[in-house]
Amino acid sequence: MSMRWLNSILKPQTALLYLYAVLGLCRPGMAQQVSFALLPPHATAIEPAPMTPVQTTTLPEAPGDHRFWDRGNSLLFATSAAFSAADFVVTRDNLRAGGQELNPVVSVFGHSSAGLALNFAGETAGVVAVSYFLHKTGHHKMERAVSLVNIGASAAAVSFGMAHR
């Protein structure tokens, strides 16, 4: 089978010719713009809107609204911090006994107790920060779910670490 037609297409001169042909065919499509001369005269003039004073009103509280540091969130954050502390203690003890950290993020910090403490403190601070962001954006159920997920993950990690001593 002859491949001469492919060689002629791939030559730089013919490739440039094909490019010009395609761009030339695109010009009529780019020329389809509306002329301002065809628009009615009142459509081209922009008239300013009349100025009215702004009235400030207080919005009523939505049913799901609550203060961020209410009793429920405080309890969730304290529980999350307690499970993170327990996870720190179990992880540190297992690493000292020659164990291996399975979490790749924690394993970066697992070479010293200070690094582990920094990791688990950052985890707790991150839970509070994400919950606050969700609170401010009005996602109150998700705000509490972040703490619950962290509590569950830390409880699972503590249970696993205690079972594999």
Q: What is the pLDDT of residues 31-65, one digit of tens each?
A: 666 666 666 666 545 667 788 888 888 766 666 67
Domain with 92 in it: 71-163
Identify whether 86 is part of a domain.
yes
Identify whether 111 is part of a domain.
yes
Helices (H) and strands (E) in the chain, counts: 7, 0
C-alpha torsion angle, residues 86, 88, 91, 97 (rounded to 10): -100
**pTM (two decimals):** 0.61
C-alpha torsion angle, residues 26, 31, 32, 34 (rounded to 10): 160
Identify whether 143 is part of a domain.
yes
Structural domain total, the chain: 1
Tens of pLDDT, residues 93-148: 999 999 888 888 888 888 899 999 999 999 999 999 999 999 999 999 999 999 99
| CB 131, CB 88: distance < 8 Å | no
Distances (CA, A) of 109 to 4, 5, 86, 118: 62, 62, 17, 8
Q: Cα Rg for the chain, rounded, in angstroms?
A: 32
